[in-house]
Amino acid sequence: GAVVSQHPSRVICKSGTSVKIECRSLDFQATTMFWYRQFPKQSLMLMATSNEGSKATYEQGVEKDKFLINHASLTLSTLTVTSAHPEDSSFYICSARRGQGNNSPLHFGNGTRLTVT
């Protein structure tokens, strides 16, 4: 069964509005979660690493003021796309490691398809 839950699965919003995406680890605690973005026919691109109780670590080129990440508990991380624009339309996917250690596999949520009109 699923080990990472992501919500919503699909959202359509108007340009200039904000959208919040939730990512939950099911039956395990995730001190770290990862947020990826995927444009059509392209690979997964790591946007940021969400750290419970501290600031997220953003990849180069990702605007931290536009993509707000909050990891307030050991099972929940949220990504808020602020002042969304059509170019932010993409597939956003969160993930977490269930096992111990940095080499254990990542498990992905079902993703959120964001369309900004």
Partner 1 sequence: QKEVEQNSGPLSVPEGAIASLNCTYSDRGSQSFFWYRQYSGKSPELIMFIYSNGDKEDGRFTAQLNKASQYVSLLIRDSQPSDSATYLCAVSGGYDMRFGAGTRLTVKP
Residue 39 or 72 with smaller CB distance to partner 1: 39
Query: 11: how many CB neighbours lie within 10 A of its CB?
Result: 17
49 forms part of the interface with partner 1 (CB under 8 A): yes
Residue 115, beta-bridge partner list: 12
* Cis amide leading into 8 (omega within 30): yes
107 binds partner 1 (CB under 8 A): yes
Q: Could you tell me if 91 and 38 are in contact, meaning their C-beta atoms sit under 8 angstroms apart?
A: yes
Q: Which is nearer to partner 1, 83 or 107 (CB)?
A: 107
Residues lying near partner 1 in the complex (CB under 8 A) are found at: 6, 34, 42-44, 46, 49, 91, 93, 102-111, 113
